[in-house]
Structure 1
Amino acid sequence: MFIIVGLGNPTLQYEGTRHNVGFDVIDKIAAEYNISVDYRKSRAYIGKGIINGQKVILAKPQTYMNLSGESVRSLVDYYKVDEESELLVIYDDVSLDVGQLRIRKKGSAGGHNGIKSIISHLGTDVFQRIKVGVGEKPKNYDLADYVLGHFSKAEKELMEEGYDCAVNAVSLIVAGEVDTAMNEYNKKIKKIKE
């Protein structure tokens, strides 16, 4: 059993924002593998399915970003998964170019409140994650305003490519090929043409 969590904020006002890319990737995975993510459990919408022969749970916590750890802890406990090898968290990263992926087996929160909450509730920073770049915050911009903002048309195209790569990376990771996924997707992609 593998739990794949995409981070975001519930309610319509946050749909399509930079901070909700985790939800967007879960939606892409769900569409690719025909999984309905519409069952409420552990303060999340979840869906069960199979990816690469592995049973998976897709989850979109409904706790708001800063409390994501409450939902993730509950899911990990209920399904009795090993967070080091059977949990994958997908979320936005402002230190990466738009659509760029960075796959890690562990690490700090790097200022991301959702990851801070998960580390706090799990008591460990050793869990697999896919960071999806949303671009660096422009000077004199408030970080909260930036991550709750929407993508430009050009950025959306790059994000779609990033989402497709994330779906492929998930397939490798659940098959136990995290190193292959890191080698394949932890590299620079083209930037937006000015």
Structure 2
Amino acid sequence: MESWYLVAGLGNPGPAYERTRHNAGFLVAERLAQRWQAKWTWERAFEARLARVPRGPNRVLLCQPQTYMNASGRSVAAVARYHQIPVDRVLIVVDDADLPLGQIRMRPGGGTGGHHGLESVTAHLGTTAFPRLRIGIGRQPGAREITDYVLGRFSPDEWERLQKVLEKAADQIECWLDFGLQLAMNRYNGWVERPAERTDET
């Protein structure tokens, strides 16, 4: 009997938010869809773009909620409940300003870290016990207010580095689907690529 898995990449819809740091979750979902040659469809009932992909004995739903970040949980919960997907097979992919660009971290559950998308998913699923994959985007040194930063676009250098991160995040998600959470965490959590160290010439 096949099992359903849900991989929901969070972000904000529309051209104004394309390639912004806050849309790292969207970008991972798009990388998977590209890798799997999956076709997106707009499904009004779920307020989401969805792509259905067979993978071995299972089926995977890729999801991009179109509700805007702060209401992402409404879409995620609707998809999960309709397809009767248990929360331990619902993976949420989000940006994380507390991780530097170049790091990824998968966890089986935990807090929201103040991330409004995770707060919404937690509220609508009624639990924090869902796996999540955090994509590091870093933050501006010394800045406490990060709204403008996370809604800003990646610089050309950051965008180039991000491509390796997206590939590794896709690898980690495939590992999670095929072999489970523990192996995916052990094999992929941490640095994808460390930034080059700066040296002062004397």
**So what's the TM-score if we normalise by structure 2?**
0.91
Letter matched to residue 126 of structure 1: A
Structure 1 residue 148 corresponds to structure 2 residue 116: no
SS at match of 1:45: strand
Q: Provide the residue aligned with 1:129 in structure 2.
A: 132
Q: Provide the residue aligned with 2:9 in structure 1.
A: 6
Which of 22, 45, 62 is equivalent to 1:58?
Answer: 62
Deviant stretches of 4+, over 4 Å = none
Letter matched to residue 162 of structure 2: M
Structure 1 residue 177 corresponds to structure 2 residue 180: yes
Question: Cα–Cα, structure 1 residues 108 and 38, in superposed 2: closer, same or farther, change >3 Å?
Answer: same
1:1-194 to 2 correspondences below 5 Å: 1-40=4-43, 41-84=45-88, 86-140=89-143, 142-188=145-191, 189-194=193-198
- Please report how far the alpha carbon of residue 153 of structure 1 lies from its aligned counterpart in structure 2 after TM superposition: 2.0
8 A Cα contact 1:39 1:47, kept in partner: no
SS at match of 2:91: strand
Letter matched to residue 184 of structure 1: R
Measured in 1, the distance between the counterparts of 2:109 and 2:143 equals 31
8 A Cα contact 1:49 1:55, kept in partner: yes
Q: Percent identity?
A: 35
Q: What per-residue deviation string (whole Å, max 9, x for no partner) do you get for residues 42-71 of structure 1?
A: 010001012354200100000000000110
RMSD between superposed Cα atoms in Å: 1.4
- Please report how far the alpha carbon of residue 80 of structure 1 lies from its aligned counterpart in structure 2 after TM superposition: 0.5
Letter matched to residue 149 of structure 2: Y
Letter matched to residue 52 of structure 2: K
- Please report how far the alpha carbon of residue 174 of structure 1 lies from its aligned counterpart in structure 2 after TM superposition: 1.1
Measured in 2, the distance between the counterparts of 1:163 and 1:95 equals 18
Measured in 1, the distance between the counterparts of 2:150 and 2:91 equals 22
SS at match of 1:119: helix
Measured in 2, the distance between the counterparts of 1:141 and 1:156 equals 23
The structure number with the bigger radius of gyration is 2
**So what's the TM-score if we normalise by structure 1?**
0.94
Measured in 2, the distance between the counterparts of 1:109 and 1:129 equals 10
Structure 2: segments with no counterpart, 5+ residues:
none
- Please report how far the alpha carbon of residue 139 of structure 1 lies from its aligned counterpart in structure 2 after TM superposition: 2.2
- Please report how far the alpha carbon of residue 170 of structure 1 lies from its aligned counterpart in structure 2 after TM superposition: 0.9
- Please report how far the alpha carbon of residue 98 of structure 1 lies from its aligned counterpart in structure 2 after TM superposition: 0.5
Letter matched to residue 83 of structure 2: Y
- Please report how far the alpha carbon of residue 88 of structure 1 lies from its aligned counterpart in structure 2 after TM superposition: 0.6
Structure 1: segments with no counterpart, 5+ residues:
none
- Please report how far the alpha carbon of residue 141 of structure 1 lies from its aligned counterpart in structure 2 after TM superposition: 6.0
Equivalenced residues, count: 193
